[in-house]
Structure 1
Amino acid sequence: MTGCLMAGATMLALSGSGQFTLEWTHSVERQAWRETWEITQDHRLHLVEAAVKGSGAGMEPGPGGHFQDGWWVWAPELPPVPSLILAASGQTPSAWMLCAADCVQIGAASGQPVTVAPCAEAG
């Protein structure tokens, strides 16, 4: 599946898999967190995989987590969602890094939350 993703006013093309990653540094533990998402057939976002570089407050690997290439990796069993709302406080250790075919930084400066959602279907 191909398609696109809107991150605020920015449109990102997706690869043939329809997947993208979202990575950031945890605000308390200062460890990297990465999620892999896909767009479903009904234009929702499904969390395929989560990974953390360390463990600590709010960073425990989920059920089935295993250590792989320096990351704790697991596949959360959560239902798809219509969108993601990313805070943009400008006070966290890193911006959100959203990567599809290209990468963009989101929320590095203080501002309104950014909505990430599949592009609207062409009607």
Structure 2
Amino acid sequence: MTVSLCLLAGGVIVRLGVEAATLAWSHSVEKILWEEDWRATPAGLVLDQARVRGSGAGMEPPPDARLSNDVWSWRPTLAPLPQVVMRRSGATADWRICARGACRVVGDLVPRDADPVLLEACGDAHPPRSGRR
């Protein structure tokens, strides 16, 4: 079974057609860019790397993070997750999802007022785990 990434929001399922993508957003207080590289596997979503372009207001990089070109990066040690929940408050710019060298605003893919938006692994012949939509 081929596993890829899907977005679920507002009754819509969007199959992204990629196994890996970067979620990017700006911190609501610090206005600093945060990025996470997620990969779909049969066991769920795996976080391969995280990056942040600064620190403060609960954004401190972990002790094993490395600073290079003003960017802190590290490899989190999390078990695979069934989903990533993205909340949309309207207080910040919308999430961005980047794959194959291009980034898109999540609101261009799912209803702009949908909250939350879920990122999940889904198979070609099977719906995402939250497929009740």
Please, what TM-score do these two structures have when normalized by structure 1? Answer: 0.83
Output the CA distance in 2 between the equivalents of 1:70 and 1:52.
Answer: 9
* Contact 1:90–1:107 under 8 Å retained in 2: no
Where structure 1 has 5 or more consecutive residues not aligned to the other structure, the ranges are none
Where structure 2 has 5 or more consecutive residues not aligned to the other structure, the ranges are 127-133
The amino acid that maps onto 2:86 is L
Moved over 3 A (4+): 107-111
**What is the aligned partner in structure 2 of residue 22 from structure 1?**
23
Task: Please show how residues 1-123 of structure 1 align to structure 2 within 5 Å.
Answer: 3-8=3-8, 9-14=13-18, 18-42=19-43, 44-92=44-92, 94-101=93-100, 102-106=102-106, 109-120=112-123, 122=125
Please, what TM-score do these two structures have when normalized by structure 2? Answer: 0.77
Output the CA distance in 1 between the equivalents of 2:36 and 2:113.
Answer: 23
Count of aligned residue pairs for this structure pair:
118
Output the CA distance in 1 between the equivalents of 2:84 and 2:68.
Answer: 26
Higher relative contact order (CA 8 A, sep 6+): 2
RMSD across aligned C-alpha pairs, in angstroms?
2.2
Alpha-carbon spacing, 1:100–1:3, altered in 2? closer, same or farther (3 Å): farther
| Per-residue deviation, 1:119 | 1.7
